Amino acid sequence: MSSSYRIRLADALSPSPVHAVLVWAEEIDPPTASKTPPDLLVEMLDQATHQLDAMLPEERKRAVRQMLRHGRYRPSGRGKPASEFLLRAAIDGQFPHISAPVDVNNAISLASGYPGSIFDASRSGKELLVRRGAAGESYVFNASGQTIDLTDLLLVCRRVDGEWVPCGNPVKDSQETKIQAETRRVLAVLYIPSGEPPEQVESWAERFESLLATHCGAKTSGWTVAWADRREDAEADGG
């Protein structure tokens, strides 16, 4: 049920730069390599080829980068938001097709211009916390063992033995919680700058949930939002 899935903002993250959208889907089809990408992704890839200027408005690009800019962290170069990397891959004709849940996450990110994370919910757990990375924190983000420095970066954390351990961020997610062949429950986060209007935030939450449900064959799905201004969470259950 929706009440068992939660995302919250750390008290230290005030004022918060982000509306954190949490989307989940359960009893999904086995996430094998994608043969047919979602229609939204096909549409976005075509647009990247023919309507580049409309893909990521400069105002949204600046807002997302500002959301990440803090302390030592600078959202440029290899530290750019994942949404910018996806756009470049689309333009270059090298967009990754990994599995249905990851394709949905990437399609929403490419269409919205907001970075997203997606996890195996059996590895991440149902409750997540958003905070900044502490000095010296890092994690492995790919099968080759490469690491990312998390100092001052906006993070999503899972609870492990009573501690909040980083598992994702708007640039690269932890290898430990990525989608696997045996994954049947997924949990996704869409990072939306705090200045964006609530109706737009909820619209993308609904679209993300709908696409996860239909493209991944989910039996149940839903979403909730941790609002930057700490208003009461909006949420929806898809059944």
- How confident is the model over 175-216, as pLDDT tens digits? 999 999 999 999 999 999 999 999 999 999 999 999 999 999
The three-state (H, E, C) secondary structure of 28-81, written as one string:
CCCCCCCCCCCHHHHHHHHHHHHCHHHHCCHHHHHHHHHHHCECCECCCHHHCC
Q: What share of the chain is helix, strand, coil (3-state, %, to 5)?
A: 35, 25, 40
pLDDT at 56: 77
> Could you give all domains of the chain from N- to C-terminal order, each with its CATH number?
2-237 (3.50.40.10)
Q: 214-234: per-residue pLDDT in tens?
A: 999 999 999 999 999 876 555
For the stretch 117-175, pLDDT in tens is: 999 999 999 999 999 999 999 999 999 999 999 999 999 999 999 999 999 999 999 99
What pTM did the predictor assign?
0.92
| pLDDT for the residue 94 | 82
Mean pLDDT of 82-109: 89
